[in-house]
Amino acid sequence: MLDSHGRVIRDLRLSVTDRCNFRCTYCMEPDERFLPKRSLLSLHDYLQIVDVCIGLGVRKLRLTGGEPTLYGDLDALIERVGQRQLDDIALTTNGWSLDADRAATWRAAGLNRITFSLDTLREDRMAAITRSTTSVETVLSSIETARQAGFPRPKVNVVMQRGVNDDEAIDFAQLARERDLDVRFIEFMPLDSGRHWDRDIVVTAAETRSAIEAALPLQPVDALHDAQTSVNMAFADVAPGRIGFIAPVSAPFCGACNRLRVTAEGMVRPCLFSRREWNLRPMLGDAASLAAFLQDVTWTKQAGHGIGSEAFEQPERGMRAIGG
């Protein structure tokens, strides 16, 4: 799949549910309602989409949500896609629940990586940010469960917000060192359903890096590929762990974007910030038609999200409904 700017799509972000058991302040309002289950795609539908995308050159698959572990057929989906010709299969989760047997099953089935979302190391802030009863210790335990199941160094995504958790940068860097984690700091993006995003709340990657390096010097790590979203750093004293900075607001990386997103009800979004979606449901059951449709949609992929432009408009739907 090729877009009109010469970018080749190799990465599919597949949302398997719009449901989430968190109501994170930067994502979802407390009273937001989920789609009826009957409107969501089936396991068979997801597999059709994956197969057609593989035929079009996709080599990486990330399963997202909502919270993907709430999807009832997740184990079966991982088992089935693990049999496909993919270079990488990953999962993003909030870490609310991960037992050893399930983690081992996923690993054996072909899941390569798990990324966890954790925005604070303080229990009182955890409750305030997520509006949930899941504790920091629960998420940290899930991370260790993933490691013990044989997954490589777990990634931990931290959405930084000024006046909320920006004073925890060094704490997270210490966590990376102590537990050999890949902690990635993400700038707050205008994808909250409540539309409270404001540039003044954004903590830039440069600010976070400066705060960490004042206490813990870092050194660059070579990028693994051109489409890598994170600028990765190692500790200069060769301590375990890695630090990454994802800067979609202050330093967009749209020019190398190779991703396509499909929502849980079958809407295709060429860009995370697309203002328009395309419904693939009418093409399900006809691989040739679906392939042609996806190629046509990919061609419309915009050059960039334009957050820095005065003409920028926030998408109608938030991150939870889009899929990460």
Q: Taking the chain (324 residues) in consecutive chunks of 10 residues, what is each chunk's mean pLDDT?
A: 94 96 93 92 98 98 96 97 97 96 98 98 97 97 97 96 97 97 96 87 97 97 78 96 94 89 96 92 98 97 84 83 82
**Burial of residue 179, with CB atoms counted within 10 A of its CB: 0-12 exposed, 13-18 middle, 19 or more buried:** middle
State the pLDDT at residue 228.
Answer: 79
State the pLDDT at residue 227.
Answer: 67
> From CA 131, how far away is CA 116, in angstroms rounded?
17
> Tokens in use for 179?
């537990």
Strands laid side by side in the 242-246 sheet: 218-220, 231-235, 242-246, 182-187, 155-160, 113-117, 88-93, 60-64, 11-15, 259-262, 267-269, 278-279
Minimal CA–CA distance to 308: which of 209, 231, 199?
Answer: 199
Q: Residue 281: helix, strand or coil by DSSP?
A: helix
State the pLDDT at residue 222.
Answer: 81
Instruction: Count CB-CB contacts under 10 A for residue 236.
Output: 11
Full 3-state SS string of 86-119: CCEEEEEECCCCCCHHHHHHHHHHCCCEEEEECC
Q: Are 103 and 154 in contact (CB under 8 A)?
A: no
At position 57, the amino acid (one-letter code) is: G
Q: Are 250 and 1 in contact (CB under 8 A)?
A: no
Q: Are 149 and 136 in contact (CB under 8 A)?
A: no
Domain boundaries, the chain: 11-322
State the pLDDT at residue 58.
Answer: 98
Give pTM, 2 decimals: 0.94
What is 11-322's CATH number, 3.40.50.1100, 3.40.50.970, 3.20.20.70, 1.20.1250.20?
A: 3.20.20.70
Residue 160: strand pairing partners: 187
Q: Are 223 and 180 in contact (CB under 8 A)?
A: no
Cα separation values, 284 from 46, 259, 271, 287, Å:
10, 21, 22, 7
State the pLDDT at residue 316.
Answer: 83
State the pLDDT at residue 67.
Answer: 97
Minimal CA–CA distance to 103: which of 69, 135, 65?
Answer: 69
